[in-house]
């Protein structure tokens, strides 16, 4: 099965896009459309036809800025407030100004959005301030429609190749990447003038309460590989202490879907059936209230739909049970849960990195450029906060178009053959052993430590212990991990990425000595927000000595001003009767 070969080949291109989920295909598509003569390669460790967070489809757009319903300025204000003010507004504004064009383009691709009787987009309100949610009745067709466009544009697609490290030239700019085939372990060296990282969230950082390694809120294939590659290349990563934590259906690896149920009248309730938060938009502050209610005598927390009319519930079921996660209906049936009869128990997801739902990602500007010349990042792994699927499409487009401009001015950078050989040796090391520990056991241990020591509320001593324990497991991973086939080799590389992300989570969380973003960075021994010292980004990177370091970065001056009476809007979501 998947025998290990040690062959190697090399190719050259203008733009290499790594990650075939949402942002990656759009980046490749837009780059090729802008310059049909550019050689664009799209690399994916699975198969682009069915990969990434949208592999099964999506039930709606969470952040659609549509004329007549909201304005770009209003959206920027909302995201800035939801993100506790730590927001460079320029990338958010650029997204907000571009996303309606992307919606219309997706519509032309055949991806349908809910429209009213007048043929206008039927946008729903879920957020605290604005109206941005646009349901997708045939959201299961997203990936198919996107793939047709890639084929039409004649994008070069390399499936089953997992990128392991980025290559840089002597002048510090990007030079390409090294990848390994997930079916036969053959290496592919790709020289490129520009690289776009679009490899999704770090979704396998924490362990779900179900105990299943792949029973995660995020697509389990998104193991933080892009975060790890960016780190080892020396790129800066922003605000990694701002974890992704989401509400979900208890024991089911899927969201509670307030974005679907909320516009129809569903809401989050405590065990008395009472609503306790005003807004079900997933902010860190909302998650803190959710956590507080879980820990109180009024937990567990539930999704309440049983007060709605039968036809309304049927409409909700038609979306929840057929589009993004079709197994949801089967799960509820086996649990003997009927939305009409009782409430559905909810819980809190495992922790992860994902700017799509929080703000933890590779640091980028408004053109998706990272701190390394020629390297871009887009989608869930880039630092534009609360990005979601439409943000991935839009910022992927921005990255692809800007990369075309960049490659006009540069040639291929020289690559270091010694660096390539060293990476091959690292990747294949687990295959050279006759005995050892399989990747899944090391992954389980790593992620259990994440849950035990890094999950909020964060405690300094526990995080220091996490660093010690993770170092012990890393030593085992690097010296005792055993791989017997190419599939296990892929898993071993994912484990290495998970380990890197765990180390970054601990380091970043220790660095910011305050609490911010509600539950996402709730430090028990630093319980207050400290704007005087910490109203800033924190940038984590790997220095020239190979050490993990963090530094402060000023928040760019606001383009859209925030009034003093607006700044705390997301801190005051508990319904008045529940305030203590």
In total, the chain counts a number of residues equal to 580
**Integer Cα distance of 118 and 348 in angstroms:** 39
Phi (first) and psi of residue 6, to 5 degrees:
-125, 30
Q: Which residues pair with 487 in a beta bridge?
A: none
Copy the structure tokens of residue 143.
Answer: 């990936």
Spell out the residues 6+ positions from residue 383 whose beta carbon is closer than 8 angstroms to its own.
Answer: 91, 237, 238, 239, 355, 359, 360, 361, 362, 363, 364, 377
Q: What is the pLDDT of residues 345-363, one digit of tens each?
A: 999 999 999 998 899 999 9
Let me know: does 119 contact 319? Beta carbons within 8 Å.
no
Q: Which helix (H) or strand (E) holds 13?
A: strand 8-18
Q: Which pLDDT score is estimated for 46? A: 96
CA distance 174 to 449: 34
Helix (H) or strand (E) holding 541: strand 536-542
Phi-psi region of 436 (alpha: psi -120 to 50; beta: other; left: phi over 0): left
d(CA 537, CA 534): 8
Give the CA radius of gyration of the chain: 23
pLDDT of residue 577: 58
Angstrom distances, CA of residue 158 to CA of 20, 45, 447, 488? 10, 8, 30, 20
What sign does the CA torsion over 66, 388, 19, 418 have? positive
pTM of the model: 0.97
Please name the residues in contact with 169: beta carbons below 8 A apart, sequence gap of 6 or more.
175, 413, 414, 415
Closest CA to 191 of 358, 409, 13: 13
Six-digit token pair at 67? 């004329």
Q: List the one residue out of 111, 373, 101, 355 whose CA is nearest residue 218.
A: 355
Residues whose CB falls within 8 Å of the CB of residue 188, separated by 6 or more in sequence, listed in order: 8, 9, 10, 11, 158, 161, 178, 179, 180, 181
Backbone angles phi, psi at 455, to 5 degrees: -70, 140
pLDDT value, residue 580? 45
Tokens of 234: 């020396």
Q: pLDDT digits over 502-520, tens only?
A: 999 999 999 999 999 999 9
Kindly state the tokens that stand for 557: 């001056």
The residues, ordered by sequence, that sit 6+ positions from 7 with a Cβ below 8 Å of its Cβ are: 184, 186, 187
Q: Are 556 and 90 in contact (CB under 8 A)?
A: yes
Beta strands 536-542 and 375-377, pairing class: unpaired
The three-state secondary structure class of 81 is helix
What pLDDT tens digit does each residue of the chain (580 aa) get? 467 887 899 999 999 999 999 999 999 999 999 999 999 999 999 999 999 999 888 888 989 999 999 999 999 999 999 999 999 999 999 999 999 999 999 999 999 898 999 999 999 888 777 899 998 888 888 999 999 999 999 999 999 999 999 999 999 999 999 999 999 999 999 999 999 999 999 999 999 998 899 999 999 999 999 999 999 999 999 999 999 999 999 998 877 776 778 888 999 999 999 999 887 777 899 999 999 999 999 999 999 999 999 999 998 888 888 877 788 889 999 999 999 999 999 999 999 999 988 999 999 999 999 999 999 999 999 999 999 999 999 999 999 999 999 999 999 999 999 999 999 999 999 999 999 999 999 999 999 999 999 999 999 999 999 999 999 999 999 999 999 999 999 999 999 999 999 999 999 999 999 999 999 999 999 999 999 999 999 999 999 999 999 999 999 999 999 998 888 888 877 886 554 4
Q: Are the C-beta atoms of residues 504 and 19 closer than 8 Å to each other?
A: no
Cβ-based burial of 344 (10 A; exposed 0-12, middle 13-18, buried ≥19):
buried
């Amino acid at each position: 099965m998947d025998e290990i070969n040690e062959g190697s080949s090399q190719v050259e291109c203008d733009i290499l896009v790594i990650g075939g989920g949402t942002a990656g295909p759009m980046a490749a598509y837009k780059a090729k459309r802008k310059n049909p003569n550019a050689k664009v390669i799209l690399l994916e460790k699975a198969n682009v036809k069915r990969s990434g967070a949208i592999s099964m489809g999506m039930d709606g757009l969470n952040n659609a800025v549509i004329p007549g319903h909201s304005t770009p300025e209003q959206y920027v204000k909302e995201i800035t407030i939801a993100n506790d003010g730590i927001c460079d507004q320029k990338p958010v504004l650029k997204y907000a100004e571009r996303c309606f064009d992307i919606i219309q383009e997706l519509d032309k691709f055949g991806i349908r959005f809910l429209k009213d009787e007048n043929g206008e987009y039927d946008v729903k309100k879920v957020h605290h301030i604005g109206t941005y949610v646009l349901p997708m009745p045939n959201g299961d067709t997203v990936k198919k429609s996107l793939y047709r466009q890639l084929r039409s544009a004649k994008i070069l697609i390399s499936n089953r190749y997992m990128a392991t490290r980025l290559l840089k030239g002597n002048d510090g700019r990007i030079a390409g990447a090294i990848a390994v085939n997930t079916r036969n372990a053959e290496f592919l060296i790709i020289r490129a003038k520009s690289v776009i990282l679009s490899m999704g969230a770090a979704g396998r950082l924490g362990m779900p309460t179900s105990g299943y390694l792949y029973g995660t809120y995020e697509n389990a294939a998104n193991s933080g590989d892009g975060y790890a590659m960016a780190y080892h290349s020396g790129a800066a990563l922003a605000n990694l202490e701002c974890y992704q934590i989401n509400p979900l259906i208890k024991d089911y690896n899927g969201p509670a879907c307030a974005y679907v149920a909320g516009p129809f009248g569903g809401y989050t309730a405590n065990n008395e059936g009472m609503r306790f938060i005003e807004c079900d938009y997933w902010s860190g502050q909302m998650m803190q209230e959710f956590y507080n209610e879980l820990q109180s005598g009024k937990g567990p927390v539930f999704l309440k739909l049983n007060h709605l009319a039968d036809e309304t519930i049927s409409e909700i079921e038609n979306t929840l049970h057929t589009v993004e996660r079709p197994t949801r209906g089967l799960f509820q049936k086996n649990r003997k849960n009927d939305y009409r009869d009782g409430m559905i128990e909810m819980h809190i997801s495992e922790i992860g990195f994902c700017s799509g739902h929080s703000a933890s990602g590779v640091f980028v500007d408004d053109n998706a450029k990272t701190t390394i010349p020629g390297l871009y990042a887009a989608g869930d792994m880039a630092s534009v906060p609360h990005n979601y699927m439409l943000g991935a499409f839009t910022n992927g487009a921005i990255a692809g178009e800007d990369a075309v401009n960049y490659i006009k001015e540069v040639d291929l950078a020289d690559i270091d053959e010694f660096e390539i050989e060293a990476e091959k040796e690292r990747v294949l090391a687990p295959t050279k052993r006759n005995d050892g520990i399989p990747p899944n056991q090391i992954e389980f241990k790593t992620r259990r430590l994440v849950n035990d020591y890094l999950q909020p509320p964060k405690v300094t001593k526990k995080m220091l212990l996490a660093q010690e324990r993770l170092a012990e497991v890393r030593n085992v991973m690097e010296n005792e991990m055993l791989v017997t086939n190419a599939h296990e080799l892929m898993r071993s590389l994912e484990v290495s990425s998970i380990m890197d992300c765990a180390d970054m989570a601990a380091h970043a969380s220790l660095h910011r000595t305050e609490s911010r973003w509600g539950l996402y960075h709730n430090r028990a021994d630093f319980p207050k927000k400290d704007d005087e010292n910490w109203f800033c980004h924190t940038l984590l990177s790997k220095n020239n000595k190979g050490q993990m370091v963090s530094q402060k970065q000023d928040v760019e001056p606001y383009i859209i001003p925030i009034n003093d009476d607006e700044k705390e809007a997301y801190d005051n979501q508990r319904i008045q009767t529940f305030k203590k």
